[in-house]
Chain A
């Protein structure tokens, strides 16, 4: 057992400890509890940072629950394993970072709310579920973490249960989400019945050359469930209802992380690492591309006509998920080629970027709501005069999400345009039309912010420290990530994409198991 095997379980243990100890500390003192929660989430960030560094230096990592190797006395893996390569490690780092920002933010943002002894455990459980999903290498373990994450997010969407909006959005999200989870469980059950194992890498090993109809049906169920969780277009409607209804700090986590860790990440993992070349990659890739094109057109277009600021941001999330899905689809349809790898790298890059940008934008929306009590765009004109820092951060975030050159959004979007144009020019054109809609939507908000102030906005002022610090950190992160796009792409994103495509490597990591 080396250090990394001792440290790695803390990824899940720390948030769990924090979640269930915070109500006890709340009885003693509120300040103490807040400090404890911040320490816990900062510690989680430290652990994920260490894991990321280790994986970056030493290559993929295998961890077996409660033992030294996954085999025991059998000749096939019977234990629950965690498999971490570049892709997982990057996602885990993003999740921990944005969660920390959201938690710092909620110290001040949620001050006026009641029920905080339930809020902080739920938000830590949400983080725990996402971290669990991104590190696990076992299908049923994944399902358990997915449900932990989903239940926490249903509860957080309906957290303000004195408003009709939260309850209605919560009911809709929960009912359809539970059905999607059942579909995912059904897919896992079918896969287990067919191959007799739940370890992802071992399923991949057994599936090579033994593709059956059952496995295809299972893939269809898994894909539909995960497309729902990632908010793809015909099944995006819950997202537009649920994300605005949650408190803004939670919206930032839902839009920035939950739809990625619980949707895109695991979808890519199942498509590439489990199914991979065993199935007809062109067909599956084109299915994903069709959904991606629908998503990025409809999501961005619907953002243009919204009058509610948070709803606009939620629809924009749908649109940006389209780009990520597009990268995954092209990566699958052009499996193993340079174009495919580049598209996949762009998708991973955009996942990280969008997590930062959308978290920033939702935190700003929260600051505006906190100061003015409204989120109707028609009432917000002229905020730039009274909330200069917030408005500046919003311009940076909006420019990044549109894809203005010196910021990080441009780098990832450029890679996606380039690879989609090389793959099929029509798809490249569709991607650019989506960006046109996206620009239109954000230009409306910026115009509003810089309009002439009305009597309401004259009274607003910039939020306090605890809300401003995460906003500033995220803004700086966006600017800094935009300064070194080529280095980041070459050193982190392309290796992550290659680790994802390398199915043999994933299987090999399992069989080379042990410490």
Chain B
């Protein structure tokens, strides 16, 4: 009737690609000029941020980095949408009640016209 898939295939593919990657790594280490096991080359390098770099005047932010800025592009691009959505969540009880009443009125109107 509809598409078919099986989770076991995914696990199979995962295992095969893991073994391939492992073999590739072994082969590359053997045939290459030697891998740097210490120093700069082993640093984790995520989204262009160097965790150990010290910036003058921003020492209070140093020491850890978080997922705060990971989706920076998305949040910046859709800033207007988020501002509107956050503004609508006013926290006022009367607003919550009026949204419920508006929803009821909307459903009732649609049902009475086209129901």
**Chain A: residues with CB nearer than 8 A to chain B?**
171-172, 175-176, 179-180, 183, 213, 216-217, 219-221, 223-224, 227-228, 234-235, 237-238, 240-241, 279-280, 283-284, 287, 298, 301-302, 304-305, 307, 338, 342, 377-378, 380-382, 405-407, 410-411, 414-415, 418, 440-441, 443-448, 451-455, 457, 482-486
User: Which of B2, B66, B68, B81 gathers most chain A CB within 10 Å?
Assistant: B66
29 examples of A-B residue contacts, CB within 8 angstroms: A176-B96, A176-B97, A216-B111, A216-B115, A217-B108, A217-B111, A220-B107, A224-B108, A237-B95, A237-B96, A284-B115, A287-B110, A301-B81, A302-B82, A302-B85, A304-B74, A377-B66, A381-B64, A381-B65, A406-B10, A414-B5, A441-B71, A444-B68, A446-B67, A447-B46, A447-B66, A452-B51, A453-B64, A457-B64
Task: Enumerate the 9 nearest inter-chain pairs by beta-carbon distance, A residue then B residue, closest first.
Answer: A447-B67, A220-B108, A224-B104, A448-B67, A454-B64, A444-B67, A406-B10, A381-B66, A381-B64
Chain B residues with CB under 8 Å of chain A are 1-8, 10-11, 14, 46, 51, 63-68, 70-71, 74-75, 78, 81-82, 85-86, 89, 91, 93, 95-97, 99-100, 102-104, 107-108, 110-112, 114-115
Q: Is the CB of A443 within 8 A of B70?
A: yes
In the bound assembly, the distance between CA atoms of A228 and B96 in angstroms comes to 10
With A220-B107, A485-B7 as contacts: A240 and B96 at CB distance below 8 Å? no
Contact A227 B103 (CB under 8 A): yes
Q: Cβ of B115 and Cβ of A448 under 8 Å apart?
A: no
Q: A280-B115, A305-B86 are in contact. Are A452 and B64 (CB under 8 A)?
A: yes
Chain B contacts of A377 at CB under 8 A?
66-68
Q: Is chain B's interface secondary structure helix, strand, loop, or mixed overall?
A: helix
Q: Are B103 and A228 in contact, CB atoms less than 8 angstroms apart?
A: yes
- CA of A99 to CA of B19, assembled, Å: 41
Interface contact B97-A175, CB-CB below 8 Å: yes
Residues of B within 8 A of A213 (CB): 112
From residue A340, how far is it (CB to closest CB) to chain B in Å? 13
Which one of A279, A342, A454, A455 contacts B115 once the chains associate, using CB atoms below 8 Å?
A: A279
Which one of A302, A410, A440, A457 contacts B71 once the chains associate, using CB atoms below 8 Å? A440
Q: Are B111 and A451 in contact (CB under 8 A)?
A: no
User: A210 CA to B84 CA in the complex, in Å?
Assistant: 44
- Contact assessment for A216 and B64 in the assembled complex, using a CB-CB cutoff below 8 Å: no
Instruction: Provide the bound-state CA to CA distance between A124 and B99, in Å.
Output: 32
Q: Besides the contacts A237-B95, A302-B86, A405-B10, what 18 more A-B pairs have beta carbons closer than 8 Å?
A: A176-B96, A179-B97, A216-B111, A220-B107, A220-B111, A284-B111, A287-B110, A301-B78, A301-B81, A405-B7, A406-B11, A414-B3, A443-B71, A445-B67, A447-B66, A447-B67, A448-B66, A454-B63
- Of all chain B residues, which has the CB nearest A238? B96
The A/B interface has a contact count, at CB < 8 Å, of 158
Complexed CA–CA distance, A411 and B115 (Å)? 34
Given contacts A235-B99, A237-B89, A452-B51, contact A224 B67 (CB under 8 A): no
Is B115 a contact of A378 with CB atoms below 8 Å?
no
Report yes or no: A443 in contact with B7, Cβ–Cβ below 8 A: no
Chain B residue contacts of A283, Cβ below 8 A:
110-111, 114-115
Q: In the complex where A224-B103, A406-B10 touch, is A451 in contact with B66 (Cβ < 8 A)? A: yes
**A448 vs B68: C-alpha distance when bound (angstroms):** 8
Q: Which of B71, B91, B99, B107 contacts A444 (CB 8 A)?
A: B71
Asked whether A221 and B104 contact (CB < 8 A) given A172-B96, A382-B64, the answer is yes
**Chain A positions within 8 Å of B108 at CB level:** 216-217, 220-221, 224
With CB as the reference atom, state the residue of chain B lying closest to A481: B7
Shortest C-beta distance, B54 to chain A (Å), equals 14
Least CB distance from A457 to B in Å reads 8
How far does the alpha carbon of A179 sit from the alpha carbon of B94 in the complex, in Å? 12
Asked if A228 contacts B100 (CB within 8 A), the reply is yes
With A176-B96, A217-B112, A451-B64 as given contacts, are A223 and B107 in contact (CB-CB < 8 Å)? yes
Minimum CB–CB distance for B87 against chain A, Å: 12
| Most interface-central of A301, A382, A447 (chain B CB within 10 A) | A447
Complex Cα distance, B11 from A277, in Å, reads 43
Complexed CA–CA distance, A447 and B65 (Å): 9
With a CB–CB cut-off of 8 A, which chain A residues contact B70?
443-444, 447
Residues of B within 8 A of A179 (CB): 97, 100
| Chain B proximity of A125: nearest CB distance (Å) | 25
Asked if B65 contacts A176 (CB within 8 A), the reply is no
Question: Could you tell me the distance between the alpha carbons of A235 and B85 in the complex, rounded to whole angstroms?
Answer: 13
Residue of A nearest to B98 (CB): A234
Q: How far is the CB of B14 from chain A (nearest CB, A)?
A: 7
Cβ-closest chain B residue relative to A457: B64
Contact of B100 among A176, A415, A453, A486 (CB under 8 A): A176
Tell me whether B85 and A287 are in contact (CB under 8 A). Answer: no
CB distance from A188 to the nearest CB of B (A): 15
A58 to chain B, nearest CB (A): 27
Give CA–CA (A259, B8) in the complex, Å.
32
